[in-house]
Amino acid sequence: MIYWFALIVAGVFEVIGVMNVKRLADKQKNALVFMIVFFGISFLLLSYAMKEIPMGMAYAIWTGIGTVGSALMGMYLFGEPRSWTRLTCIAVILASAVGLKLIA
């Protein structure tokens, strides 16, 4: 249970890391530090979760949370386009990447 919790937190921290990529581009305060810290903790939690959850599955879920979370964050925080065509393309990439990680 604690491993699944770690995995989900790893995914959330990844999204916060991605948010700080954008904040860094916008020259916001402390963005570089936040980016390194959140991605760093995210990787640590991911590798911790992999002790119990099979690697492919852990990696697939982590990528899934990161991709979906970043798309939602972009739309709600930064007003990025919400066209269904764009979301379909992101979903196709997501499904393919998750599939690859599950079978690899």
Partner 1 sequence: MLQELEGTNSMNLNWSFVLLAGILEVFWVSGLKHATNTFEWGITIGAIAVSFFLLTLASKKLPIGTLYAVFAGIGTAGTVLAEMLVFGEPFNLMKIVLIGTLLCGVIGLKVLNSKEEKAVSEFEAQEVVV
Residues making contact with partner 1 (CB under 8 A): 18-19, 21-22, 24-26, 35, 39, 63, 66-67, 70-75, 78, 80-81, 83, 85-86, 88-97, 99-101, 103-104
CB nearer partner 1, residue 1 or residue 33: 33
**Distance of closest approach, residue 49 Cβ to partner 1, in angstroms:** 16
The radius of gyration computed from the CA coordinates of the chain, to the nearest angstrom, equals 14
Torsion of CA 38, 1, 67, 86, to 10 degrees: -150
For residue 39, what is the enclosing H or E element?
helix 31-49
CB nearer partner 1, residue 8 or residue 75: 75
Q: Is 14 in a helix, a strand, or coil?
A: helix
Neighbouring C-alpha atoms within 13 Å toward the C-beta of 87: 11
CB nearer partner 1, residue 5 or residue 82: 82
**Distance of closest approach, residue 1 Cβ to partner 1, in angstroms:** 27
